[in-house]
Amino acid sequence: MTIRWKHLIVLVVIAPLLGLAVGWSGLMSVRASTGHWAVTDWFLHWVMRNSVSVRAVATADVPPLEDPGLVPGAAGHFETGCAICHGSPAQPRPDSVLAMLPPPPDLKTSVPEWSDAELFEIVKHGVRFTGMPAWPVQSRDDEVWSMVAFVRKLPDMDAGEYIAASGLHGIGHAGEVSPLPLTCESCHAENRLNDGSHIPRLAGQSEAYLLNALKAYSDKQRPSGIMQVAVGTLPAESLPELAAYYAKQPIAARPVAQHDPALVEKGRTLAEQGRLSDKIPACLSCHDKAGANLAYPKLSGQNSAYMRQQLKLFQEGTRGGSSYSHLMTGSAKNLTPEDINEVTAYFSQR
Ligand code: HEC
Ligand code: HEC
Ligand code: HEC
């Protein structure tokens, strides 16, 4: 009996030392060029699949992903943040990334193998030891879902559809594509937006508000993986230039958003009067009021889908924003989902 215990103790001490010795000797190869043994490859994929599937079970309910307003922001982000590794219908994966181990898969063939919840798990958390990054901010599940909605569509897209969805412009034809520098217009161009867009209209906002918003994204005071990546590589001095540029843009005429007139009327009452019993202030006491603080955003003509999402974020406590954003957190707290539908319908038509 005593001998067995000794053996065990010797093993427990020796085994890690042996491991260290093998690591120190340099005998183990970390070369990507030689690839994995087939068995290692199989094992790693098996572990990855199991990890993703088990965690996906706990994922909250899958929201509706058919909303077309979800696609453009995700598609634009895919072009700048994902296509460099995964390629796209407009551009194959470059040879340099095919030499990664493992190589980033062609999503056209691999996406159909995963469920929505599994894709959510992969896109939100990334995959360790593979180069697949996590979503830049962990508090914006709505953005991750929009990316899931987009990658679902990816396998059926041809180059033209992809270019249209991601807002790429200045491209010749498929096959001659060069990666374009990130442009704000690929997402924010007025002619690409409508009332169902989750991307906001910028024209009509004051320079002060736009600059505060851009600073809030770049200082990570307003969490958004999409906008964080868009402003992340810009030098600090270009933020005031961009704010000034967009503040001067004319507001393009477009068809008035279609909403039930009864809904809009209720929204008007709330915007003008608030509701004292629920401590909801009149929105118009701050927004779109002559002489109001220029750091308060304009809501009239803003896309209702974008405003609904922002109000939800204020209610969850994840919107963030400038040093004035606490004013809005209090104002949004007691709005019901019906109030949100009504008041955003009203402002979008105003
Ligand atoms: C630096 C390169 C890189 C970037 C950038 C990248 N990925 Fe990946 N991605 C990978 C690699 C490598 C894998 C394979 C992981 C594995 O096999 O375990 C992967 C796997 C995936 C998968 C699972 C597919 C499968 O069957 O393995 C999805 C979906 C995915 N990526 C989506 C995205 C999205 C969306 C983005 C942008 C937000 C993105 N990736 C950015 C490298 C990258
Ligand atoms: C890939 C698409 C994409 C690109 C590129 C992009 N944006 Fe955005 N932008 C968005 C989305 C989506 C939001 C909403 C983010 C959120 O939920 O906070 C947004 C929000 C904003 C806001 C906040 C507006 C408001 O009403 O609060 C400003 C300002 C802005 N973007 C300016 C820019 C500028 C300037 C650039 C170029 C440097 C740029 N964006 C590039 C998609 C994009
Ligand atoms: C006390 C002043 C105040 C009141 C009252 C107020 N807001 Fe706001 N609201 C703000 C401020 C300030 C911001 C911008 C926060 C920031 O700097 O990011 C904001 C932001 C918003 C946004 C996001 C706009 C964008 O472009 O991202 C929406 C939507 C909004 N408010 C809707 C409402 C509604 C609906 C009401 C009425 C129920 C309301 N607000 C009442 C001050 C107020």
pLDDT tens per residue, range 85-104? 999 999 999 999 999 999 99
CA distance 199 to 187: 7
Which residue's CA lies nearest to atom 3 of ligand 2? 187
210, 242 in Cβ contact below 8 A? yes
The tokens 């899958």 sit on which residue?
A: 62
Pocket of ligand 2 (CB under 6 A): 73, 76-77, 182, 184, 186-188, 198-200, 202, 210, 213-214, 222, 224, 226-227, 230-231, 234, 242, 297
CA distance 342 to 319: 20
Tens of each residue's pLDDT in the chain, 350 residues: 567 888 898 889 999 999 999 999 999 888 999 889 899 999 999 999 999 999 999 887 899 999 999 999 999 999 989 999 999 999 999 999 999 999 999 999 999 999 999 999 999 999 999 999 999 999 999 999 999 999 999 999 999 999 999 987 544 344 444 333 347 888 998 888 999 999 999 999 999 999 999 999 999 999 999 999 999 888 888 899 999 999 999 888 888 889 999 999 999 999 999 999 999 999 999 999 999 899 999 999 999 999 999 999 999 999 999 999 999 999 999 999 999 999 999 999 99
Contacts of range 190-193, beta carbons closer than 8 Å, 24 or more positions apart: 190/249, 190/251, 190/252, 190/254, 191/252, 192/72, 192/167, 193/303
The tokens 């393009």 sit on which residue?
A: 252
CA distance 83 to 77: 9
Q: How many CB atoms lie within 10 A of CB 188?
A: 22
Tokens of 35: 């690839």
Q: Which of 193, 227, 287 to mutate to test the pocket of ligand 3 (most atoms within 8 A of CB)?
A: 287
Q: What is the pLDDT of residue 341?
A: 98
Tokens of 198: 């989750």
199, 308 in Cβ contact below 8 A? no
Q: How many CB atoms lie within 10 A of CB 284?
A: 19
Question: How remote is the CA of residue 284 from the centroid of ligand 3, in Å?
Answer: 10
| Whether the CB of 123 sits within 6 Å of ligand 1 | yes
The tokens 């008041």 sit on which residue?
A: 343
CA distance 238 to 28: 48
Name residues whose C-beta falls within 8 Å of residue 130's C-beta, 6 or more positions apart in sequence: 48, 102
Amino acid in position 296: Y
Q: What is the pLDDT of residue 219?
A: 94
Question: pLDDT tens across 24-78, in order?
Answer: 999 988 899 988 989 999 999 999 999 999 999 988 789 999 999 999 999 999 9
Query: Torsion angle, CA of 75/80/85/86, rounded to 10 degrees?
Result: 10
174, 236 in Cβ contact below 8 A? no
Tokens of 39: 């068995």
